[in-house]
């Protein structure tokens, strides 16, 4: 005999097991006129259960009208191209002005309720100053499906996440895998670090060198990397790249030791990197299985302007020195045959 909460969740895919448990405890499930309040009640053959799902209540998050770059939206999900500086979820110090505040205003009544509340379902996040693609659930069904896909970290082929990053130096191998467990730093609780502690979480990042920019000095070498996540830990890419000695340009937390290298860059790139004031990391590709149709969806975001300008500047060759008129030689004349 199966548990009631597990059995009901299997019968109603649109509801998560956690949501079903809450409905049972709140007295919304009956059997033969008797209210059931224990989620672990055993289901017996031929029994009929009735579940009443109340209307979703409004979110306690205040909606704020903010400009959003919407890449895709339907009744189940919304895909956003997030700019730098936008915090995803309200938290201490960021109670307003977040992506969730913007989505509450943007989606309005199209939010059918996540866990009984009309709110957007955040299934993954990007750091405040990381740009790029992010998918958000609008229904309980979508939230459950996307959460399951992100938990599997792409092992079943449904989820795909790829990033672009500008890093200092160039890795020894053009392709590689960084397999290093991560944990909260014991020295600074706001940072993540590579750790062998038993509480450290498995973390794997695949990288490939897309392009290398060699400056006049070795310290000025910068590489553009493409990174594919096998797991999705907090600050994973930033910590992994710093761990192998190639931190992300502009990273204010994990790349501070490389700040002096900016002076070695060419005259065009140097001020652009100095003004960056964020990590040069961009979530370029996002693929997932659509929660309702089951069809694969793949989205791609162009590099943000600040990163593209740095790349253009790094590609530019220094101008040839201009010769003075006193030393300039006249060009040789060429005769033309008629």
Helix, strand, or coil here: 163?
A: strand
CA-closest candidate to residue 193, choices 157, 234, 150? 234
Task: Find the catalytic residue in 26, 60, 74, 127.
Answer: 127
Q: Which residues contact residue 20 at a Cβ distance below 8 angstroms, ignoring those fewer than 6 apart?
A: 5, 8, 9, 12, 39, 51
Helix, strand, or coil here: 138?
A: coil
CA-closest candidate to residue 204, choices 150, 159, 240, 152? 240
Q: Which residues contact residue 111 at a Cβ distance below 8 angstroms, ignoring those fewer than 6 apart?
A: 56, 59, 104, 118, 119, 120, 138, 139
Please give the structure tokens belonging to residue 81.
């191209």
From CA 112, how far away is CA 89, in angstroms rounded? 19
Please give the structure tokens belonging to residue 158.
């449904």
Please give the structure tokens belonging to residue 231.
């797991």
DSSP letter, residue 333: P
Query: In angstroms, what CA-CA distances link 105 with 98, 139, 180, 231?
Result: 11, 16, 40, 31
- What strands, in cross-sheet order, belong to the sheet with 29-31? 34-36, 29-31, 49-51
Backbone φ and ψ of 167, nearest 5°: -125, 155
Strands (E) located in 44-130: 49-51, 57-58, 70-73, 77-82, 117-118, 121-122
CA-closest candidate to residue 194, choices 251, 152, 245? 245
Exposure string of 26-45, with b = 16+ CB inside 10 Å and e = fewer, is: eebbeeeeeebeebebeeee
Q: Is 127 an active-site residue?
A: yes
The residues that are catalytic are 127
């Amino acid at each position: 005999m199966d548990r009631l909460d597990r059995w009901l969740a299997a019968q109603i895919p649109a509801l998560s097991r956690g949501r079903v448990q809450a409905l049972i405890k709140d007295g919304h499930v009956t059997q033969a006129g008797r209210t059931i309040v224990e989620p672990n009640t055993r289901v017996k053959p031929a029994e009929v259960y009735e579940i009443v799902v109340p209307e979703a209540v409004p979110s306690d998050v205040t909606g704020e009208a903010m400009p959003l770059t919407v890449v895709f939206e339907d009744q189940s999900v919304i895909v956003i191209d997030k700019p730098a500086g936008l915090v995803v979820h309200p938290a201490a110090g960021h109670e307003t002005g977040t992506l969730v505040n913007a989505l509450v205003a943007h989606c309005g009544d199209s939010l059918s309720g996540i866990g009984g509340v009309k709110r957007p379902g955040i299934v993954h996040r990007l750091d405040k100053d990381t740009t790029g693609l992010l998918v958000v659930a609008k229904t309980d069904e979508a939230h459950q499906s996307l959460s399951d896909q992100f938990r599997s970290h792409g092992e079943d082929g449904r989820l795909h996440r790829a990033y672009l990053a500008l890093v200092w130096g160039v890795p020894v191998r053009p392709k590689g895998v960084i397999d290093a467990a991560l944990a909260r730093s014991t020295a600074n609780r706001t940072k993540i670090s590579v750790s062998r502690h038993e509480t450290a979480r498995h973390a794997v990042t695949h990288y490939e060198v897309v392009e290398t920019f060699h400056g006049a000095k070795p310290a000025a070498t910068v590489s553009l990397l493409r990174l594919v996540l096998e797991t999705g830990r907090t600050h994973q890419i930033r910590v992994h790249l710093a761990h192998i000695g190639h931190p992300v340009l502009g990273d204010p937390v994990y790349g501070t030791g490389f700040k002096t290298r900016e002076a070695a860059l060419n005259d065009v790139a140097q001020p652009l990197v100095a003004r960056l004031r964020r990590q040069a990391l961009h979530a370029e590709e996002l693929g997932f299985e659509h929660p309702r149709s089951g069809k694969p969806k793949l989205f791609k975001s162009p590099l943000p302007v600040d990163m593209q300008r740095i790349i253009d500047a790094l590609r530019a060759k220094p101008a040839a020195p201009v010769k003075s008129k006193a030393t300039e030689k006249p060009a040789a004349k060429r005769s033309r045959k008629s």
